[in-house]
Structure 1
Amino acid sequence: MARQDGMAVISALLIAAVVAVIAAGMIERQGLLTRQVENRQLAVQGLWALEGGLQLSRQVLHEQRLRDPLVRAGQPWAQPLPEWSAGNLVFAGRLEDEQGKFNLRNLVVDGLVDAQALASFHRLCALIDIDERLATAIATLVIDSYPQRAVASPVQGAEPASGRLTSPASASATSPPRRPMLRSLDTLASLEGMNAKALQRLRRVVTVIPALTWVNGNTASAEVLAAQVPGLSLQQARALVAERDGGRWFINRGDFVNRLRMPQLATANVRVGINSDWFRLHGQARQGQRQVRLQALLRQREGQLPDVIWTRVGA
């Protein structure tokens, strides 16, 4: 009888243990389902918040252009964007002037490698401690991503304005690109010799804009200006930037050239302006510790809201 009672107790304990395991599994699955629902809800609300932030950034740029065609630091667009709420999420973001950087698209003009732009890129890489072999690999990757003219000839009058294609059309036969078009600096991460620190240094001064552009002298770093202007030392560029950021903004291209104090420099070789049409939005929608990120490339146009060229959620 005692043995039967003992077996009954053991059976009851086993049943209780099984029930506890099943209940724990159900609770865990319920928690997982709840988290999945919350994540989907966050994603949906996050997209709404990001869309609102994107439209806000377009409005900020549009209003800035109406007030002042000059693009420089200290203006409303250069400040953190006003926070925007969607449900329980809050959007925060900032705009970055992409024309304050070297545009890799400038390496190829009308199917020909632009020697001046290539030299500027190599100078820039040297100034930010990018190995020469890596710089060559980057340039080769970019050049191979565009159609090439079969017959090399000088390009006359190829002076790209701020965000606008001004190169003359070419009737020469072209060969197709050997590699996919570079759309993001992320593609460079696979190059031999590239590491996270080198890529971070490049992101600060290099961009990929789908049009030929000049550098904005009012937002470019000293390294970019020294690379862009032949014969301008980094020390001279830093002094120029310090003067600019102290409140003496460049009011036009002639003002920039005059303040270089380089009378021997050919004006045609100075591909620096004082305006910008291309901006990048860095945004995030957050709820507590959770967040959804957004990047977008915007193109400014006269008299209308900027165009959204591309967006990347989760970037």
Structure 2
Amino acid sequence: MRQRGVALITAVVLVAIATVLAARVGTDAALDLRRTSGIGALNQAWNVALGAEAWAAQILRDDLRDTELDDLTDTWAQPVPPLPIDGGTIEGDVEDMQGRFNLNNLLTADGGVDDASVQRLARLFQLAGVDPRWAGMLADWLDADSVDRFPDGAEDGVYLGQVPPYRTANGPINTTTELLALPGFSLEDYRRIAPHVAALPAGTPVNLCTATPLVLAALAEAGTDFGDAEALSRNRESGCFPRIADLQATLDAEQFQALQGRISETTNWFRVVSVVSIGTSQLTLYSLLERNSAGGVRAVVRSVGTE
């Protein structure tokens, strides 16, 4: 009897172990399948997003051939609603990045600071509800020297005291998120200013046809109504507004002369945002495209998930 009892207990234990192992194997198999399916969906989404980028590049090539200006009535400026693809959808848009203030314009060709651009950026910060002193601190972050040039400026001495310590860029930045490297510059500050700034090669002008209302107001200074978002939107329904001539008419000769080479009605830099959803997976691809005067378009920077 005792032997039969031991045998029964042994059998029950073995069945229990086998059940647990079977469940574990089944769970692992399900997870592996799910993981494989997710990777496959993301790979498919990546290829679809690259296809969308290529399509946008072709639109930009055609646009250069067909139109003289780059404004919000152009084909590239129309958002793409969700479109069905195999197993999901794709949507996206193209933005003229020269409609923003280029942070690298604070630099001169020799690595010095362009004081006029610092003043314009300070106005832009103020209009966006951000302390204008950050303009001077950013200028010190970018310039090639190690001298505090502004009352609120800061060089390596300040940054090496941070935890962890780091140094200033001492040159052009590649992303606007470098603003967050300035001690005390908050995420809320960044969210307020981010839609109005870009990190492009130094010397890139602002396209008046697509500039945000705050960027226009910062450029045009006091005495103009270009910063009125509703009026600006209405005026842009039929094409480029304001034109360079419109801006000239509102400024005195000295103010307008100071903007020469800093404003335009065309664009070379665009950002393509492609959002691909397949099953439960979603991929967002940000592509910074450069279009040259000959119509060539190339992807300069790609990032996934974040700008």
TM-score (norm 2): 0.81
Amino acid at match of 1:48: N
Aligned to 2:25: 26
- Does the Cα contact within 8 Å between 1:225 and 1:237 map onto a contact in 2? yes
- Does the Cα contact within 8 Å between 1:123 and 1:227 map onto a contact in 2? yes
The 2-side partners of 1:42 and 1:252 are apart by: 46
Q: Please, which of 235, 241, 244 is the counterpart of residue 244 of structure 1?
A: 235
Amino acid at match of 1:105: N
The 1-side partners of 2:188 and 2:84 are apart by: 34
The 1-side partners of 2:293 and 2:279 are apart by: 39
- Per-residue CA shift, 1:136-164, capped at 9, x if unaligned? 333322x23xx4699xxxxxxxxxxxxxx
Amino acid at match of 1:275: T
The 2-side partners of 1:50 and 1:236 are apart by: 36
The Cα of 1:288 is off from its aligned counterpart by 2.6
Moved over 6 A (4+): 82-86
Q: Secondary structure at the residue paired with 2:271? A: strand
Report the more deviating stretch, 38-47 or 213-222.
38-47
Matched, 1:210 2:209: no
Aligned to 2:163: none
Aligned to 2:152: none
| 1:1-315 equivalence runs, <5 A | 1=1, 3-81=2-80, 87-88=86-87, 90-111=89-110, 112-141=112-141, 143-144=142-143, 147=144, 179=170, 181-232=172-223, 235=225, 237-238=227-228, 241-242=232-233, 244-247=235-238, 249-250=240-241, 252-258=243-249, 260=250, 262-263=251-252, 265-270=254-259, 271-315=262-306
The 2-side partners of 1:290 and 1:305 are apart by: 33
The Cα of 1:104 is off from its aligned counterpart by 0.8
- Per-residue CA shift, 1:173-217, capped at 9, x if unaligned? xxxx85464101222233322333221222200000124111111
- Does the Cα contact within 8 Å between 1:57 and 1:281 map onto a contact in 2? yes
Q: Secondary structure at the residue paired with 1:34? A: helix
Structure 1 stretches lacking a partner, 5+ long: 151-176
The 2-side partners of 1:54 and 1:236 are apart by: 32
The 2-side partners of 1:82 and 1:306 are apart by: 24
**Are the structure 2 counterparts of residues 82 and 241 from structure 1 closer, same or farther at C-alpha, using a change threshold of 3 Å?**
closer
**Are the structure 2 counterparts of residues 133 and 230 from structure 1 closer, same or farther at C-alpha, using a change threshold of 3 Å?**
closer
The 2-side partners of 1:127 and 1:104 are apart by: 16
- Does the Cα contact within 8 Å between 1:72 and 1:219 map onto a contact in 2? yes
Q: Secondary structure at the residue paired with 2:291? A: strand
The Cα of 1:220 is off from its aligned counterpart by 1.1
- Does the Cα contact within 8 Å between 1:185 and 1:207 map onto a contact in 2? yes
Q: Secondary structure at the residue paired with 2:283? A: strand
Structure 2 stretches lacking a partner, 5+ long: 148-167
The 2-side partners of 1:36 and 1:272 are apart by: 50
- Does the Cα contact within 8 Å between 1:49 and 1:89 map onto a contact in 2? no
The 2-side partners of 1:265 and 1:199 are apart by: 32
TM-score (norm 1): 0.79
- Does the Cα contact within 8 Å between 1:104 and 1:209 map onto a contact in 2? yes
Amino acid at match of 2:292: R
The 2-side partners of 1:27 and 1:191 are apart by: 51
- Per-residue CA shift, 1:58-89, capped at 9, x if unaligned? 01111122221211113211112476777545
The 2-side partners of 1:52 and 1:137 are apart by: 40
Q: Secondary structure at the residue paired with 2:21? A: helix
Aligned to 1:168: none
The Cα of 1:128 is off from its aligned counterpart by 0.6
- Does the Cα contact within 8 Å between 2:102 and 2:197 map onto a contact in 1? yes
The Cα of 1:40 is off from its aligned counterpart by 2.6
- Per-residue CA shift, 1:112-156, capped at 9, x if unaligned? 211110100111001111123444333322x23xx4699xxxxxx
- Per-residue CA shift, 1:211-258, capped at 9, x if unaligned? 41111111112211111124346x553176255335363484224322
**Are the structure 2 counterparts of residues 88 and 178 from structure 1 closer, same or farther at C-alpha, using a change threshold of 3 Å?**
closer
- Per-residue CA shift, 1:16-66, capped at 9, x if unaligned? 211111112111221222123223322322221121111001011111222
**Are the structure 2 counterparts of residues 53 and 11 from structure 1 closer, same or farther at C-alpha, using a change threshold of 3 Å?**
same
State percent identity of aligned pairs: 26
The Cα of 1:108 is off from its aligned counterpart by 0.7
Amino acid at match of 2:27: E
